[in-house]
Amino acid sequence: MSDFEPWEMRLAWQTALQARGCPPDRVLLGEDRDSSLSHHLSTCPFCSEAAAMGREEFEETALARELRRFSMPRPEAGPAPGQVCRVSERCGGWGPKGRYYNPPWVLVLDLPGDLPGAARVAQIYDDPVLAGPGDIPLGDDVFAESWNTYTLREEDLECCGGCVDEETLRQVKEGAALDWPAPPAGTHLEAFRRLEVEVAAFFALQALEEIMKRRERSPLEGLRALFPDGGTLKRELSGVYPQIAWPEASGDAADLLARARFPESELPLAAAGEGETLPANLVVVRRGTVQLSPILWELRVLTPKEGGTVVGGKALASLPPRVELYGRWAAPGQPGRIGEESFIDPETGYFRLYFKDISEPEWWDGKVFILLIGA
């Protein structure tokens, strides 16, 4: 790197290298010194000096972490576009080039509809000396690196430190689509941007495999992976939703949720429609948790087909972009039937279910339970 750049730039680069790649005091001054720490100390003059001095900052840093934990609580509702969040501490650790990769702060750009539980982010930094083409100011010397975006899991975002306005978010998203000029070769700015991309790669690669698994997994498969049987689900959710009338636990979580019933006082109001209005449940599986709510649906079509009955309806609710349908028919003294050949359009709410070996007159003698599973 050039020795003729301003001292402010050289100092900013050294600070960035420490902030991004040096271990926190709990690791640096901890009792256990593993091979990764030993290697880092052999190459990093900053940390080797600090470790030799044994500075008395460890307890203060622990207190600061506790204060930070209480002042910026984890966003239980999940991240949202425009939020400035920090990547979870559990994602940090030793990585390439002998660095300890500290979790960066990021700006949430969007939540891709085709990647359940994922968040697209732009990395941010807080020294304007290192800002260049494609860096969008966020205020208080902080800037978003629109040239350095990647995808994480929603649960990787630990806390929210604020939000940006819609115009700023738009600028960052538009900047992410542009091809910005590279900094001059051999400069500290070029080295900083290379460092930032390496930090982004460390955290993005951790999330990649799980994100791809979720993409391949249907919402119903995701629900059953989280709750392998109805008994497990009932134990987990009966305390969260005490107002629900839970049926006897069955072997299948989807079947249990379909037959669970909210009190009538919590059902949405039914507007005048084209068909009979019936209750259903909507469960959304995200970040390893479920959100359950009552909805209504209209019966639009009931027609015989090849020894069975096709039921067509419309969900009267806003649905997630990825949604799956589960239906069960039951009648006294008869074996239950699970709906087959299901289809649902998440944009319009229209759906179709085929119940095998049930005639139309028999269908009216029983009761249908509908569950929509979103992700």
pLDDT (tens digit per residue) in 263-308: 999 988 766 566 789 999 999 987 778 899 999 999 998 999 888 9
Among 113-122, 289-298, 307-316, 347-356, where is mean pLDDT lowest? 113-122
The strand pair at 323-331 and 157-163 is best described as unpaired
Residue 64: predicted pLDDT: 43
Residue 78: predicted pLDDT: 79
pLDDT of 60 above 50: no
Task: Please give the residue that has the higher pLDDT: either 63 or 168.
Answer: 168
Determine the CATH number of domain 7-215: 2.30.30.110
Residue 65: predicted pLDDT: 47
Residue 61: predicted pLDDT: 42
Closest CA to 180 of 147, 222, 213, 154: 147
Class of domain 222-374: mainly beta
Domain ranges of the chain: 7-215, 222-374
Q: Average of pLDDT values for 330-351?
A: 90
Residue 62: predicted pLDDT: 42
pLDDT of 333 above 60: yes
Q: In this prediction, what percent of the chain has a pLDDT beyond 70? A: 90
pLDDT of 324 above 70: yes
Residue 57: predicted pLDDT: 46
pTM: 0.61
Among 30-44, 175-189, 290-304, 346-360, where is mean pLDDT lowest? 30-44
Q: Average of pLDDT values for 322-340?
A: 91
Among 59-68, 210-219, 354-363, where is mean pLDDT lowest? 59-68
Q: For the chain, what is the mean pLDDT?
A: 88
Residue 49: predicted pLDDT: 81
Q: Average of pLDDT values for 185-213?
A: 92
How confident is residue 337, by pLDDT bands cut at 50, 70 and 90? Answer: very high
Strand-pairing partners, residue 86, are: 105, 159
Residue 241: predicted pLDDT: 93
Q: Average of pLDDT values for 346-361?
A: 92
Residue 69: predicted pLDDT: 46
